Chain A
Amino acid sequence: MWQKIKRYSFLYTKYFTSHLKVMLEYKGDFFIGMLSVLVQQLTAIFFLKIVFDHIEALKGWTFYQILFIYAVAFLGRAVHHIFFDNLWTVGWQYIRSGTFDRLLLRPVNPLFQIISERVQQDGFGQLLIGIFILHTAASHLHIQWGVSSVFMLLLFILSSGIIFVAINLFFITFSFWMIDSLPLVVSMFQFSDFARYPVNIYPKAITLIITWIIPYGFTAFYPAAYFFENQYYSVLALLTPVVSLITMVLSYLFWNRGVKSFSSTGS
């Protein structure tokens, strides 16, 4: 086990440094990419600001509370965006083109290979803006930062990222049967936008879906609500790491099933 971890981290470092070299080669593109994502997020915040210029609260939630939710969403998304972006391309880049067979021949986990074959530098823009607005929102909300709350925040962000990855992994796995399930992944991803706002603005059915079926609620709203001192949502927030673990395990098992059925038809 230990040997395996060592080998995989060695491999990942190798992959990562080669990505870094590419990034440094195309500096201009690196900055365009970062800037573009930055501006993209800023428009979302600016939109919120414009709306809040005309209202005091959104069903009882203040501007800075919603900003805080946005920040958690951005940071969780950034984890997914930087390190796991290649999952989007499994269908057309690996299965349709037949490259996936090549991955199966190598003595390394195919999922690991797919993930490490790309680092999406644009995600760093998201990371930066996420940290910046998290700081702004938190200071206006007078959140007291201690060791435990910072730890919880980091744990929540990591879990949020894992949930994003797990849901994408789950739906892209259908590619093994339908060649490219990207349309499915894209439409399911749309659910993540619901988590950017407090769930009490939605009807029960939608809340139910984004909490228990496609648990995007745990990528932003619930973990953020942990810091708002709201009894009910804080308890749900504590489930975030558990939910991320469960979705990841389920998705990975499903992925393995997909790989298995692929190799039995493929050869």
Chain B
Amino acid sequence: MRKYWELLISQIKVDTAYIAWYWADMFSSILRLFIMYFFWAAVFQHKHDLSDISFESMITYVVLAMIMESYITGAGTMLAHNIKNGDIALELLKPYDYLTKLQFMDLGSKVSGFVRASIPVFLLGFFFADVQLPATPGGFLLFIISFMIGICIGAQVDLIIGVFAFWTVNIWGLRVLREAVAKFFSGALVPLTLFPDWFQAISQYLPFQSMIYVPVAIYTGQIPAGKEAYLSVLTQCVWLIITFISVRIIWSQAIKKVTIFGG
């Protein structure tokens, strides 16, 4: 276990070494916050609520969803990269579980991302853009748990896409495709309750809403605390198990391919 923590910490160090990216990330996130705020302010110009969601609640949702969105991708890019340049063969020889290693390094990146983008955006949103605090301390605790599970599901889905680098060259396209699909079904842009009914029905059977909508809606109280919230977190756990097993299955298939090539 210790070696994985070391990897996590080394990744944080690598990230902080690139100071220019630190400022760029923060700046871009803040600009996005601006666009979002003024767009929604214009939407609510003559309205008190949008299908029962108040302006404050909406802005809290979209800002948190934006923060969450940066955490649901990650390890897959590195994986695809290693497959492409052939490093994968060496990685497999090393005395760690490669997929676990990737996820810990990715976690390191997320920790530094939390400091460089999430905290400034949240603070700015809180002080200047009507972002609210969670209604109850219990709700906040459940949000943290749900948030963690959401990140893990995102990482698994990202790894699945990454493994596809064994079969296709244009991994960038596949990533953009996945990001676009995830953006929608996860509720990264607007709360899923605003969507037409048929769309909400489909998204119930996909893992994406467990990545963003569930944690954020628990935070804003759109998923009421209590039985409904617990049930949502339970569904998240089920998705985490399903995606985790899928990654391992696809991975073991792909590995066979490497060993065939390797002779």
**Are A186 and B172 touching (Cβ within 8 A)?**
no
The answer, yes or no, to whether A51 is at the interface (CB within 8 Å) is yes
CA distance A55 to B41 in the complex (A): 12
Find B50's partner among A39, A54, A122, A191 (CB 8 Å cutoff): A54
Contacts of B41 in A (CB 8 A): 201
Residue of A nearest to B20 (CB): A183
| Interface residues on chain A, number (Cβ under 8 Å) | 40
If A50-B190, A54-B50, A190-B28 touch, does A206 touch B180 (CB 8 Å cutoff)? no
Closest to B27 in A: A187
Is A35 in contact with B177, judged by CB distance below 8 angstroms? yes
CB A97 to nearest CB in B, in angstroms, measures 15
B152-187: CB near A (< 8 Å → 1, else 0) gives 000000000000000011101111110111011000
Q: In the bound complex, do residue B169 and residue A50 qualify as a contact, i.e. CB atoms below 8 Å apart?
A: no
Contacts of B50 in A (CB 8 A): 54-55
CB of A151 within 8 Å of the partner chain = no
CB distance from B176 to the nearest CB of A (A): 4
Report whether over half of chain A's contact residues are helix, strand or loop; otherwise say mixed.
helix
Chain B 24-47, CB-CB to A under 8 Å as 1, else 0, gives 110110011011001101110101
Interface residue stretch chosen among A25-33, A101-109, A233-241, A248-256:
A25-33
Across the two chains, which residue of chain A brings its CB closest to B164? A32
| B195 CB within 8 Å of chain A | yes
**A197 pairs with B39, CB closer than 8 A:** yes
Asked whether any CB of chain A lies closer than 8 Å to the CB of B92, the reply is no
Q: A32-B177, A35-B173, A50-B195 are in contact. Are A43 and B183 (CB under 8 A)?
A: yes
B176 with A37: CB separation less than 8 A: yes
Instruction: Tell me whether A33 and B23 are in contact (CB under 8 A).
Output: no
CA A72 – CA B32 in complex, angstroms?
21
The residues of B that contact A202 with a CB separation of less than 8 Å are: 38
Q: Which partner residue on chain B sits nearest A42 by CB separation?
A: B180
Contacts of B173 in A (CB 8 A): 29, 32-37, 122
Contact (Cβ within 8 A) B28 A29: no
Q: Identify the 7 closest CB pairs spanning chains A and B, nearest first.
A: A29-B170, A183-B24, A32-B173, A36-B176, A36-B177, A33-B173, A201-B42
